[in-house]
Structure 1
Amino acid sequence: MDIGHTEHTERTERTEQWDDTYRSREQLFSGNPNGVLVTEAAGLPPGRALDVGCGEGADARWLARRGWRVTGADISEVALGRAAASPVGEAGDRVTWTRADLLTQPPPEGAFDLVSVHYFPVERRADHTALRGLLDAVAPGGTFLFVTHTRADLAEHGEEGFDAARFSWPDDAVRLMGPAWTILVDEIRPRTAPAPAGTRHSHDAVLRALRLP
């Protein structure tokens, strides 16, 4: 089997799927930063941040306005085009929009003081390679913030045939973390904002962990 060809094909299919999803609406998301990000990152000292699956860029813009230097990464060129076209104001030079498939192309190791993963479908790979790549991108002293819908919400209100085993979850990340990490938050909490249109997700699974210096 040509692994490289297979990964290229999968990446192309994901790109087309997400481009089509964004094209289906003039604006897919609210334009506001995720509430969990605001709650969990407001007190962090600004540094280098990776916004995983940045979409139309609301989280990245919020971080940049608070002094972070942000890499907003997404596989969809449509999403990145919208993100780049949205005003950031004086913080514009602190955001870099990057097209990347972080499931197959891990970010640089130890490069970020915050890796923020909000509702990004981390597909399960052999030995959790995609999730490990995101964890490895956190610098010593940095924060890993992983937020997902809960399995229960997705099973009840998600697509027919939803298979939780296809994806990595916050508890998978906890199992991968060794003594170099301190878990600060690991809980399920009610959503602070209405669920996206067409969904009925009522709770979030939230993991915030610190990589020890």
Structure 2
Amino acid sequence: MSTAQPTDPTEFWEDRYRATDRVWSGEPNPLLVREATDLKPGTALDLGCGEGADVLWLAARGWQVTGVDISATAIERAAAHAAEAGLTEQVAFERHELGVTFPEGSYDLVSAHFLQSPVALDQHGVLKRAAAAVAPGGTLLIVMHAGWATWQTPEERPVADVVFPTLQGFLDDLALPPGWHLETQDAVTRVSNAPDGRPGTRTDNVWRLTRR
């Protein structure tokens, strides 16, 4: 009997979330905290919101946040966490297979953390639409893995031929029109241990841009 994972994006991510009661830590991404703490609250869009930790962190700081994910299970959990935190009025959740459908409107902050998938994802198209959704004066925040964790052997990598963006290569590929100002372009190395406890690190790239 085959144990191959599904290649359909919705099926893949639904299986991922249904396999366990919690996929993520419940804590906001540290680079969101670093980059967004001093931003003036307004409207925000979180692409690939998962179980909602980033959405709730922003909402608790005065933002009106729309969280988007492909997984209905993830969105259900995120909405439940918002209700538990008393933040229902500050948040909304929408299910989208990004690259196929995209939320409407413009936002003062568009945040996309780790939109890197082992199954089909039009990453370039999604991030171009993310930039287009930033309101004048607003912020685009993108964080992506710069490479594999140091402990991951070729056999442990979910995709053999994945290409990770470089700091400048990503900006060149995104090709934003005039009117954007680069606030942050940084590589951050953090502890990233293996599930079995093997020590390691992983580097993430972060870009923060303001639309003038």
Q: Same fold (TM over 0.5)?
A: yes
Q: How far apart, in 2, do the equivalents of 1:22 and 1:124 lie?
A: 18
Contact 2:148/2:202, CA 8 A, preserved across alignment? no
Q: What letter matches 2:49 in structure 1?
A: C
How far is the alpha carbon of 1:156 from its aligned partner?
Answer: 5.5
Tell me which of 37, 55, 61 is aligned to 1:60: 55
Report the 3-state secondary structure (helix = DSSP H, G, I; strand = E; otherwise coil) of the residue aligned with 2:87: helix
Contact 1:80/1:99, CA 8 A, preserved across alignment? yes
- Cα-to-partner distance string for 1:90-120 (whole Å, 9 max, x where unaligned): 43201001111222223335x1111110112
Report the 3-state secondary structure (helix = DSSP H, G, I; strand = E; otherwise coil) of the residue aligned with 1:82: helix
Match of 1:89 in 2: 85
Match of 1:207 in 2: 207
Q: How far apart, in 2, do the equivalents of 1:82 and 1:211 lie?
A: 32
Tell me which of 89, 94, 99 is aligned to 1:103: 99
Q: What letter matches 2:137 in structure 1?
A: G
**Unaligned 5+ runs, structure 1:** 1-11
Identical columns (%):
37
Contact 2:151/2:193, CA 8 A, preserved across alignment? no
Change (3 A) 1:161 1:13: same
- Cα-to-partner distance string for 1:23-70 (whole Å, 9 max, x where unaligned): 111100000000000110000000110010000000000000000000
Q: How far apart, in 2, do the equivalents of 1:56 and 1:179 lie?
A: 35
- Number of equivalent positions: 196
Contact 1:15/1:75, CA 8 A, preserved across alignment? yes
Q: CA RMSD in A?
A: 2.7
Report the 3-state secondary structure (helix = DSSP H, G, I; strand = E; otherwise coil) of the residue aligned with 2:79: helix
- Cα-to-partner distance string for 1:129-156 (whole Å, 9 max, x where unaligned): 2221111011111111100111354895
Q: What letter matches 1:147 in structure 2?
A: V
Match of 1:189 in 2: 188
Contact 1:186/1:205, CA 8 A, preserved across alignment? yes
Within the alignment, does 1:50 sit opposite 2:45 as a pair? yes
* TM-score, scaled to structure 2: 0.81
Change (3 A) 1:196 1:74: farther
Tell me which of 14, 22, 26 is aligned to 2:21: 26
Change (3 A) 1:66 1:195: farther
Q: How far apart, in 2, do the equivalents of 1:180 and 1:57 lie?
A: 31
How far is the alpha carbon of 1:88 from its aligned partner?
Answer: 5.0
Tell me which of 125, 149, 154 is aligned to 2:145: 149
* TM-score, scaled to structure 1: 0.81
Q: How far apart, in 2, do the equivalents of 1:185 and 1:47 lie?
A: 20
**Unaligned 5+ runs, structure 2:** 1-6
Report the 3-state secondary structure (helix = DSSP H, G, I; strand = E; otherwise coil) of the residue aligned with 1:60: helix
Q: How far apart, in 1, do the equivalents of 2:8 and 2:93 lie?
A: 21
Match of 1:117 in 2: 112
